[in-house]
Amino acid sequence: MRKATVSDRELHALFQTTCDYTPPRGSITLIGAQWGDEGKGKVIDLMTGHADIVARFGGGANAGHTIYVKDKKYVTHILPSGIVRRGVINLVGPGVVIDLGALRTELEIVNACQSQVYLDRSATVVHKIHRWFDAAREAAARDLNLGTTKRGIGPAYEDLASRRTVKLGDLLNADRVRKALTERSYHEEKRAAATAYPDMLDTFPTLDDIIDDLMAYQRDIRDLLDDTRERIALAQIEQKRILFEGAQGVMLDIFQGSQPYTTSSGCTHGAVGATFGVYDSLAVIGVAKAYATRVGLGPFPTELHDETGERMRQLGHEFGSTTGRPRRCGWLDLAALKYAARIGGITHLVITKLDILSAFDTIKVCTGYTFENRPVRDNETLTNRVLSEAVPNYVELPGWNEPIDEVRDVVDLPHQARRLIDLIELETERRVIAIGVGQEREQIAIA
Ligand code: IMP
Ligand code: MG
């Protein structure tokens, strides 16, 4: 495991408004350590209080971060969570695929909160063709669908990989947009591919539909275009505090997740290097819920199909912030978390929503899998095949049956709750540095 170059105390300062230690200067990365929706929004929100720059490095409007500030609820999809903090500079990097509709809505938050935003000129624009194919494929696949968010994410990244995208900077000029959409027969080729979905063909966007739609956003983005990689490089020289904000989670990563049930972008620490060229984060903080959820299809070894799962869903408000879909719920899976920590480059963990488990008399935790009548090896890759057939081995811990939402220091947690945290640390070989005990900003216990 890569050693973090900061002390736990310096990291604790990131989650507190007053502390004897100052938060470290340099880059910190925060990523999801499960299947997305780990409660990153709340954790990032605390950390942005100490950041000069917050940068999104991957994904698009498939993400949904919920942030509660006093009685106000903000949901962001495309812009970094620092937009709710006055004065914080927020960057959307070259690896993000931009949904202009979501962007426009979130720019209102930027104005209201007096934060700043810059968008990378080279970022890929999501357009109508992407959303069309995402929806058409999901509908045609019927029960073999992937359960995508239908935000056009997969088709947009396909175009990026095949080097035929509209870049955000192209929006300065309608001719550049038209060129990008017609070069090397782009639109004609997509139109031909669309005939595979005859039922929907009459809604396939024309060139003019796409161009008119995109150009309507020119004014929104015109003054926000930037070279975000240069800005990050300069900020590094000036020893600024930079926070890289991940979307989704390691288990949904395009390479490390269970293909085809993944998203189409990088969700590990590797994606920070691949997009911003930053390889020296002081710490990579993985966020994991005290139980597990997944939205969309794909293997989920500890999923509960019973009343216990339903209770988790209701108590934890486990409904997607992007699509409103009910999330699948299950027990904490330390076999998956251990894998995610290793393959995602995670150095520390933050555990969220521990308070939700207060309602359960017994808490089960998966510490390993049996696959094809043998134990899954310590460093074995958790492919779709392995995860689909893995039988979880559980340990059972007694619940604590008392509220913990007032706890601010881990030593004040009930003994049984501390046992759970100890088990997480033991199995993942990562320190848990903070624990979410409620949805408010201040409801966090420092470990
Ligand atoms: P896509 O990213 O919309 O193509 O969806 C692919 C899979 O990733 C689906 O199972 C989605 O539900 C899931 N997914 C994508 N983004 C998120 C997220 O931010 N949180 C949770 N699940 C996500
Ligand atoms: Mg989410």
The tens-digit pLDDT sequence of the chain (447 residues) is: 555 579 999 999 999 888 888 889 999 999 999 999 999 988 999 999 999 999 999 999 999 888 887 788 898 999 999 999 999 999 999 999 999 999 999 999 999 999 999 999 999 999 999 999 999 999 999 888 999 999 999 999 999 999 999 999 999 999 999 999 999 999 999 999 999 999 999 999 999 999 999 999 999 999 999 999 999 999 999 999 999 999 999 999 999 999 999 999 999 999 999 999 999 999 999 999 999 999 999 999 999 999 999 999 999 999 988 888 999 999 999 999 999 999 999 999 999 999 999 999 999 999 999 999 999 999 999 999 999 999 999 999 999 999 999 999 999 999 999 999 999 999 999 999 999 999 888 899 999
Determine contact, residues 233/322, Cβ cutoff 8 Å.
Answer: no
Q: Please, which residues bridge with residue 213 across strands?
A: none
Q: Distance from CA of residue 365 to its chain's centroid? A: 23
Locate 438 and state its tokens.
Answer: 């409620």
Catalytic residue among 37, 120, 226, 355: 37
Which residues sit opposite 303 in a β-bridge?
A: 330
pTM beyond cutoff 0.85: yes
Q: What is the pLDDT of residue 4?
A: 59
Q: Strand, helix or coil at 365?
A: strand
User: Given the CA of residue 298, which atom of ligand 1 is nearest to it?
Assistant: 10
Give the residue whose CA is nearest to atom 5 of ligand 1: 148
Q: What is the pLDDT of residue 72?
A: 87
User: Which amino acid residue places its CA nearest to atom 22 of ligand 1?
Assistant: 36
Q: How far apart are CA 37 and CA 347, in angstroms?
A: 20
Q: What angle do CA 146, 91, 68 make, to 5 degrees?
A: 70
Where is 181: in which H helix or E strand?
helix 174-182
Distant-in-sequence, close-in-space partners of 72: CB < 8 Å, separation ≥ 6:
none
Is 77 catalytic? The answer is no
User: In terms of Cα–Cα distance, which of 258, 333, 312 is closest to 34?
Assistant: 333
Q: Which tokens go with 246?
A: 């991940």
Q: How far apart are CA 271 and CA 252, in angstroms?
A: 13
Q: What is the CA radius of gyration of the chain?
A: 22
Nearest CA, atom 1, ligand 1:
148
Ligand closest to CA 326: 1
Atom of ligand 1 nearest to the CA of 134: 4
How many whole angstroms from 149 Cα to the centroid of ligand 1?
Answer: 6
**Of all atoms in ligand 1, which is nearest to the CA of residue 323?**
12
Give the mutation target among 159, 252, 322 for probing the ligand 1 site: most ligand atoms within 8 A of CB.
252
Catalytic residue chosen out of the listed positions 50, 65, 77, 127: 65
**How many angstroms is it from 65 CA to the middle of ligand 2?**
5
Q: Check: CB of residue 296 under 8 Å from CB of residue 62.
A: no
What pLDDT is stored for residue 128 in this prediction?
98
How do 26-32 and 283-289 pair as beta strands?
parallel
Residue whose Cα lies nearest atom 2 of ligand 1: it is 263
Q: Encoding tokens for residue 61?
A: 């409007």
Amino acid code (one letter) for 103: L
CA distance 10 to 21: 6
Distance CA 45, CA 322 (A): 18
* 344 Cα–ligand 2 center, Å: 18
pLDDT of amino acid 51: 95
Give the number of C-alpha atoms closer than 13 A to the C-alpha of residue 100, restricted to the C-beta side.
25
How many angstroms separate the alpha carbon of residue 77 from the centre of ligand 2?
8
Which bound ligand lies closest to the C-alpha atom of 76?
2
- 186 Cα to the center of ligand 1, angstroms: 26
Cis bond before residue 375 (omega within 30° of 0): no
Q: Which residues pair with 352 in a beta bridge?
A: 289
Q: How far is the CA of 161 from the centre of ligand 1 (A)?
A: 19
Ion ligand 2: residues, CB within 5 A, are 37, 64
The atom of ligand 1 lying closest to the CA of 265 is 2
Q: Is 79 within 8 Å of 90 (Cβ atoms)?
A: yes
Question: Cα separations (Å) of 185 from 42, 165, 181, 208, 308?
Answer: 45, 13, 8, 15, 53
How far is 259 from 257, CA to CA, in rounded Å? 6
Active-site residue, 65 included? yes
Measured from CB, residues less than 6 Å from any atom of ligand 1 are: 36-37, 62-64, 146-149, 151, 153-154, 247-248, 252, 263-264, 295-296
Q: Which ligand 1 atom is nearest residue 150's CA?
A: 3
